[in-house]
Amino acid sequence: MMVIVSAITATVLYIAESNLEGSVARELQREFQGSLAELDHLREIRHAALVERCRALAGRPRIHAALEDDAPDLLYPRAENDLRDLMGRAQFYRFLDAQGAVIPPQKPGVTSPAQITAGALGPSEEAQLALPHLTAEQQNGYLAHSTSGGAEELSEIIGTPILSSETGDVIAALVLGFKPDESTPSDPDLRSGVLLSGRLFSPSLGADASPAIAAAVAADIAAAREEGNNLHLVLHGNPQLHF
């Protein structure tokens, strides 16, 4: 009789413990999704403000005049005044021609003031800003590039089409690079980063954890899992949930 009672008691305790673990997991998931929604909302607000600012700059008359009068030498000097107030937030800017190629801020082998005010980029980094063709839609992306001190940093890219004032056709594009969004959610335990070309850029996660997270996410993507999948990892003895 004692054996039967003990077995039944153990079964009840096991079921109760399993239900508790399930409830805790569901609550953690709910809190996690709520924090993600908050972070997405903060990023959407910031991105919308940058998008509108870029559109306003792309419509400046002096920039249009340099493009439509076929005066590329005047493009960056004229843009300098229009973009000066934004360069406190932007890291660099470049113009693309009608074919999507980068219009350099200086002649080959010549360093000009426009190169400095437009932000320093190496030739290979500039080349990554080019597009196969221009469209009437804004383009968004990321670029990893070197700083003046030799370190590597990530930039969020917004490419805005410039339309002809006469025909409405796309004649060029203005590409601006900004520091990635650093919005902070109310949950202090939430961290974020950007996975680019197999590397995770995330100051908040730390350099020691980034390779392990990048490898796990890359493997999950390679397995053709659905977008929005959650990953459970243990790093330095601490369980983490990744979205």
Same domain, 73 and 172: yes
Locate tokens 């960056």: which residue? Answer: 76
Question: Are residues 174 and 239 located together in one domain of the fold?
Answer: no
140 with 218, same domain: the answer is: no
Say which residues have a Cβ less than 8 Å from residue 23's Cβ, sequence separation at least 6.
Answer: none
Parent domain of 219: 191-243
Domain of 111: which CATH number? 3.30.450
Pick the last residue of a domain from 123, 154, 178: 178
* Tokens 């002649």 belong to residue: 107
Q: How many structural domains does the chain have?
A: 2
Determine the pLDDT at residue 105.
85
Residue 236: its pLDDT value, please?
75
**Among 206, 100, 211, residue whose Cα is nearest residue 162:** 100
Any domain includes 30: no
165 inside domain: yes
Structural domain contains residue 34:
no
pLDDT of residue 237: 78
Q: Is residue 212 part of a domain?
A: yes
Q: Are residues 127 and 83 in the same domain?
A: yes
Are residues 228 and 167 located together in one domain of the fold? no
Tell me, yes or no, whether 195 and 173 share the same domain: no
Backbone angles phi, psi at 147, to 5 degrees: -90, 175
pLDDT of amino acid 232: 80
Nearest to 180 by CA among 230, 210, 141: 141
Are residues 235 and 130 part of one domain? no
The two three-digit tokens of residue 205, written as one number:
């996660």
Domain co-membership, 195 together with 169: no
Q: 99 and 133 share a domain?
A: yes
Is there a single domain that holds both residue 66 and residue 174?
Answer: yes
The answer to whether residues 113 and 86 belong to one domain is yes
49 inside domain: no
Q: Are residues 66 and 169 in the same domain?
A: yes
Give the 3-state DSSP-derived string for the chain, with helices as H, strands as E and coil as C. Answer: CHHHHHHHHHHHHHHHHHHHHHHHHHHHHHHHHHHHHHHHHHHHHHHHHHHHHHHHHHCCHHHHHHHHCCCHHHHHHHHHHHHCCCCCCEEEEEEECCCCCEECCCCCCCCCHHHHHCCCCCHHHHHCCCCCCCCCCCEEEEEEEECCCCCEEEEEEEEEEEECCCCCCEEEEEEEEECCCCCCCCCCCCCCCEEECCEEECCCCCCCCHHHHHHHHHHHHHCCCCCCCCEEEEECCEEEEEC
Q: At which of 178, 201, 234 does a domain end?
A: 178
User: Per-residue pLDDT for the chain (243 aa), expressed as one digit of tens each?
Assistant: 344 444 455 555 555 555 656 676 777 778 777 877 887 888 888 888 888 888 888 888 888 888 887 777 788 888 887 777 776 778 888 999 999 999 988 654 445 545 457 888 888 899 999 999 998 998 899 998 887 677 788 889 999 999 888 888 899 999 998 888 766 666 777 778 888 888 888 877 777 778 888 888 888 888 866 666 777 888 777 787 777
Residue 116 lies in a domain: yes
